[in-house]
Structure 1
Amino acid sequence: MKDTYRFQVNLSGMINILANHLYSNPRVYLRELLQNAVDAVTARNELEEGYQGQITVELSGMGSTATMTMEDNGIGLNEEEVHQFLAMIGQSSKRGGEDFISRETSFIGRFGIGLLSCFMVSDEIVMITQSAKGGPALEWRGQPDGTYTIRKLENALSPGTKVYLRCKPGSEIYFGEQNLAKWLYDYGALLPYPISLHSGSSSRKINGTRPVWIAYPELARDRKEEVLHLGEQLLGERFHDFIPLHTASGRTGGIAYILPQAVNLNAKKTHRVYLKHMLVSEKAENILPDWAFFVKCIVWTDELQPTASREHFYENEKLEEVREELGEAIRSELMRMADYDQSRLRQIIGQHALSIKALAVEDENFYRMIYRWLPFESTFGRKELGELLKERSTIFYTLTLDEYRQITHVAAAQFMLVVNGGYIYDSELLALLPQICPEAESKRLQPEDISFSFTDITADERRQYYENTRTADAALQRFRCQIQLKRFKPSELPALYTLSKESADLRSLEAAKEVSTDALSSVLNSLGSSFQAAAYSTLYFNLDNPVVARVFSGDPAMLPAAVEMLYVNALMMGHYPMSRQELAVLNEGIIRFIEWGYAAGNTQDGGNGQ
């Protein structure tokens, strides 16, 4: 024979779990009461044709003596239901005969623990209820020690339920009139039943008539001011544009408000989500694709599965499907703008180019539609890609920001169109350009490629500078750098430093060796030895520059030091990190030239007889 025992619930422990682990803030007690009232009204609405539901909140007293009541004219509870649904943790009046977590229902609540959240702000819960199915009116009193009493009232009442809460010490903030009004609106702004708040002699209606575009988001385009006003009320920001959201099933919809300012790529993407028109999350992070970080959304749904706290949604196939469809709605609207509202699209791209580029990398068809308006930094200035293609059919681009910085002045002086591909997504988009625009050509440009536009020196100049060129070349051998004399624009630039792939790799290895342990340095040495023979950089000296012309025509004794200083200057101009050896050359060179300057000054003074 087996004995059967029932689990005992430590209610005070359960309340601690609710307050500190399940719910994000004690104010959710208001949401749980509102949810129960809405579900009661919904149940009666399904039972009685023509019935009009309503919810009333009343506040009396102030501070620690404040009492709040929430009353609905819904279906109410009879005694059996009170025992069943208020005494058993985890039971729900919306359960039916199926699994109460996964079953599709028209109700918001599913877990039967919402009423317990009231113990976070009150030491007693009093409920008076009258079932629409008949029977006596009942008074239920619950205590945080797990006990409760039920009393039958002598007189029958109108169907519905009324819950009384008295503020417990430390919870005064949750019974303030202004806070109650704000939170009721936050949770219930989109609910289909009227909610009113009464306090003393004042009375206010919390939610207005629900806009028709809640059911049909595509109608929002014709009600711009109304949609923008709701966004400001619910999200606390002033917006200027939006995109309607919908899914194929029609069970999820919303409004994606275009943020009026650019946002950081790594910023959290939080949105406001309503389940069956009750707010469940103010900070939903997984409702839209990651690339959609240029919008802030209000989303309403009746098909996603909430977690036990009803503040987030389970990451499952349904959520993945909805997220993809909402992303497609944003993508489709932007593509529609490309055809019919280009000025609007241009404005959005101008504000949120990074987000649009992220989407273009992901979706080739979208890229094909909007590539003309994507902005890029180039040697012709910051321009849209369509403008750049009008200038040149071939676009050269660099892979990194450093590469662009190294050649931008030279390329601009040669009237070469070079686009900076160093920003996120830019090089990927430029590499894909010929696929979406067959008449365009794009080529990656490396710093050494820019030398093709330089002018060679004449044969006479080559003979004239032959010895000094050998001396200069020898001075830079320890840096694995060879020199060439050229003429190029701008003449203000004395030298241009360029790296082959092998020399760039070797330079990175040598930089790593300087900060590595002996054991790791040995490994790096072996890695670098395989391509040292080919790993030479090139320093192009510009004979059109007056300083370079004087250096190669002047005192040979000063040439090595001058060449080394021009070398480290070229590294700085190209934003290359310098090794310890190169930094030492810079410091020594500065001191050496100061000494030469003083020596020359003293000689001049002595020559004047001073």
Structure 2
Amino acid sequence: MSEQQEYRFQVNLSGMINILSNHLYSSPKVFLRELLQNATDAITARSSMDPVYKGKVSVEIAGIGEHVTMTVEDTGIGLTEEDIHQFLAMIGHSSKVGKDFLANETSFIGRFGIGLLSCFMVSDEIVVLTQSAKGGPSMEWRGKPDGTYTIRKLDTQLAIGTKVYLRCKADSVDYFEPAAVEELLFYYGALLPYPVTLVAGGQQKSINASQPVWFAEPELARGKRREVLEFGSRLLAEPFEDFIPLRTANGRTGGIAYILPHSVNLNARRSHKVYLKQMLVSDKAENILPEWAFFVKCLIWTDELQPTASREHFYEDDRLQSVRDELGEAIRDELVRMGSLEPERLQRIIALHALPMKALAAEDAAFLNTIYKWLTFESTYGERTLGELMNEKQKIYYTATVDEYRQITHVAAAQSLLVLNGGYIYNNQLLDGIAYLNPELELERLMPEDVSLSFTDLTMEEKNSYYDMTRLADVTLQRFRCHIQLKRFKPSELPALYTLSKESSALRSLEKAKESSTDLLSSVLGNLGASFGESAYSTLYFNLNNPLISRLFAASSKEMLPAAVEMLYTNALMMGHYPMSRQELAVLNQGIVRFIDWGLSANAGNGGTSI
């Protein structure tokens, strides 16, 4: 039996730093976030030993150009020599977790033991001076990106806490500029509950002078409107005019949802800022709100979500799903509250963000019943709110698709019918819901063929007069499963209107699919189509109020009528935005050529010149 050898993995630290900078972290600037997180966790650990202890963090910039040095000092718990060997020298090991570091609750932010390595993205050496609150000598640790490090005991006793020294790389000077450091400290640590200061150029600046009172209770933000809006504009770098307080039932997640001052696309992704234990861990959190809430940009603070290794996103688990649902409920409840107490405010939001409001209303019947009068629809009476259209005191119809609306809009408008376009996203679903929730409203789905009910029938004398020509036109379109009817209707400029029943619409779709299918599938589709029978006929209404139609059916030329009817049929299909089959396209092309030929022949017969 062969002898089995056991080996250990070797870690190329330089290669790992490259992975961190190019793949794990979004930018080298996160090194400052990692240092702040370590300082935060150190202060949290010391606070657990001494509840009355108050921690602080100080960042100092010294030197200029390529000789600039940054010092980040905290008054946290510090490290013993054993801690240094275990936590600074062992990649992937953290002082802040047990065996199951994803499942267990923790009061710490950093949990993966790799945060300090991010400093190698901007510095060729990391120097750590530390004194543990547990006692022992003060220690110095020096680490280099080649994987080597040194440890020594200091002769002097330092104050409890930790100092991290970084000397910038030649290509990282921008990350050590005082103005850039101040901006990043505020960016990451604006909500920290202990003071963070920056010392540079002989001046000391407070980064987070005071914490707003509405952090603990977001509902109080309603009474601090100007302060809340200014705070959001500074942190999110965008002006806002309105906001919604957020809070989950357990109080462990809260925040402010700022309503964007401009309309946004349905596919737009909002990146929200999320603070974990009051420290910014993500400014790209896309999955913390429901998809319909794309009209807000949020500041959210939590102590219950689990960050990924990069601390820029959160694990998609049951806890995140629960938080997402509750934050969505908080937005919905506030909008409903506005509808009852501040309707003008809600109207402004709906006017600006109609699409997300419709998306929410499509999911929530109670919210729909609150806002439906303020929803805007395209109609034969113009672009108006449903409440304004209800004031017209007449029956309201709506179509299920955009094409249906386009087919009948001119005819319906000429008949003074009030028709809404229900074809745009959410509209049909919302109108169905409004009709169901409010049966007293005269709101009804309209099919294209229903418009014909307002058409004027011919007199018996007219029917007899046009019988032969109508029969010939009807026979002409039999191969397209289309019936002919002569009517009078408005507008007179419209020569013909094509309508489909549900059965004929389904058959038309099947026949279109057959043209691009394999022989086997085409055969199956053909068998399905055969089951529709006589019910799958469409109707082409000719308008005798139209001068062209009147002349065509009064003429005695039965030679020209079939070609003219086919051309009017294909024209009606195009006017109704129906896709045409190969056979119909062929008829259209042949008809064009035939009428050009007739025109040329007539021109030549009258002594004109032919082309």
Structure 2 length-normalised TM: 0.93
Question: Do 2:125 and 2:144's aligned partners in 1 also have CA atoms closer than 8 Å?
Answer: yes
CA distance in 1: counterparts of 2:415 and 2:164, whole angstroms: 80
Q: Structure 2 unaligned runs (5+)?
A: none
2:144 maps to 143
1:34 aligns with 2:12: no
Q: Distance in 1 between matches of 2:429 and 2:48?
A: 56
Is contact 2:499-2:538 (8 Å) kept?
yes
Q: 2:361 is matched by which residue type in structure 1? A: A
User: Aligned residue for 2:213?
Assistant: 212
The equivalent of 1:412 in structure 2 is 413
1:484-503 pair list within 5 angstroms = 484-503=485-504
Match of 2:71 in 1: 69
Q: Name the structure 2 match of 1:351.
A: 352
SS of residue paired to 1:80: helix
Conserved? CA contact 2:33–2:188, under 8 Å: yes
Q: Which whole-Å CA distance do the structure 2 matches of 1:393 and 1:412 have between them?
A: 14
Does the residue aligned with 1:391 lie in a helix, a strand or coil?
coil
Range moving further from structure 2, 514-523 or 115-124 = 514-523
Larger deviation, residues 544-553 vs 103-112: 103-112
Deviations 1:328-375 (A, max 9, x none): 110110100111111111111111122111211211111122221111
Report the alpha carbon displacement of residue 324 of structure 1 after superposing the two structures with TM: 1.2
Tell me the distance in 1 between the aligned counterparts of 2:304 and 2:138: 35
Residue 101 of structure 1 and its aligned partner are, at CA, apart by 4.2
Q: Show CA shifts across 1:135-186 (max 9, x none).
A: 3322111123333222222222222211111223443443333432322221
State the match for 2:522 in structure 1: 521
Aligned to 1:83: 85
Structure 1 Cα separation of the partners of residues 7 and 536 of structure 2:
80
Query: Using a 3 Å threshold, how does the CA distance of structure 1 residues 393 and 249 change in structure 2: closer, same or farther?
Result: farther
1:522-561 map, 5 Å? 522-556=523-557, 557-561=559-563
Residue in structure 2 matching 1:590, options 589, 592, 606: 592
Quote how far apart the aligned CAs of 1:11 are. 3.2
SS of the residue corresponding to residue 576 of structure 1 reads coil
Q: How many angstroms apart in 2 are the aligned matches of 1:179 and 1:563?
A: 75
Task: State the distance in 2 between where 1:94 and 1:369 align.
Answer: 48
Deviations along 1:99-150, one digit per CA (max 9) or x if unpaired, are 5544433332222221122222222110111234443322111123333222
Displacement after TM superposition at 1:604 (Å) = 4.3
2:480 corresponds to which residue? 479
Q: CA deviation at 1:9?
A: 4.6
1:9-64: CA deviation from partner (whole Å, max 9, x where unpaired): 54334434433443232222111111111222333344446544322222234454
Check whether the contact 1:506–1:532 (CA below 8 A) recurs between aligned residues.
Answer: no
* Alignment correspondent of 1:168: 169
1:444 matched residue in structure 2: 445
One-letter code aligned to 1:293: F
Match of 1:256 in 2: 257
Unaligned runs of at least 5 residues, structure 1: none
The one-letter amino acid of 2:426's match is Y
Are 1:265 and 2:263 counterparts? no
- Whether the 8 Å CA contact 1:101–1:111 is kept in 2: the answer is no
Counterpart of 1:466, as a letter, is Y
Q: 2:192 is aligned with what amino acid?
A: L
> What is the rounded CA distance, in whole Å, between the counterparts of 1:24 and 1:532 in structure 2?
62
Q: For the aligned residues, what is the CA RMSD?
A: 2.5
Matched, 1:380 2:381: yes
**Match of 2:26?**
24
Query: Could you say which residue in structure 1 is the equivalent of 2:291?
Result: 290
Is the Cα contact below 8 Å between 1:263 and 1:294 reproduced in 2? yes
CA 124–211 in structure 1, closer or farther in 2 if over 3 Å, else same: same
Q: Which residue of 2 aligns with 1:562?
A: 564
DSSP-derived class of the 2:391 partner: helix
Quote the Cα distance in structure 1 between the aligned partners of 2:466 and 2:7. Answer: 103
User: Does the 8 A contact of 1:67 with 1:166 survive in 2?
Assistant: yes
Q: Deviations over 1:259-296 (max 9, x none)?
A: 12222222223211110111111111111111211111
Deviation at 1:555, TM superposition (A): 4.0
- State the one-letter code of the partner of 1:417: L
Give the count of matched residue pairs. 605
Amino acid at match of 2:415: Q
Q: Structure 2 counterpart of 1:571, which letter?
A: L
* Per-residue deviation, 1:203: 4.4
In structure 2, give the amino acid aligned to 1:291: W
Letter in 1 for 2:77: I
Instruction: Report if aligned partners of 1:262, 1:352 keep a CA contact under 8 Å in 2.
Output: yes
Counterpart CA distance in 2 for 1:592 and 1:47 is 96
Cα distance, 1:432 vs. partner? 1.9
- Is contact 1:397-1:418 (8 Å) kept? yes
Taking the aligned partners of 2:552 and 2:443, their CA distance within structure 1 comes to 39
| Aligned residue identity for 1:68 | M
Give the distance between the partners of 1:552 and 1:107, measured in 2 at CA. 86
Moved more, 277-286 or 508-517: 508-517
1:75-154 correspondence runs (5 A): 75-95=77-97, 99-154=100-155
**CA displacement at 1:319 relative to structure 2:** 1.3
Counterparts in 2 of 1:228-377, with a 5 A limit?
228-377=229-378
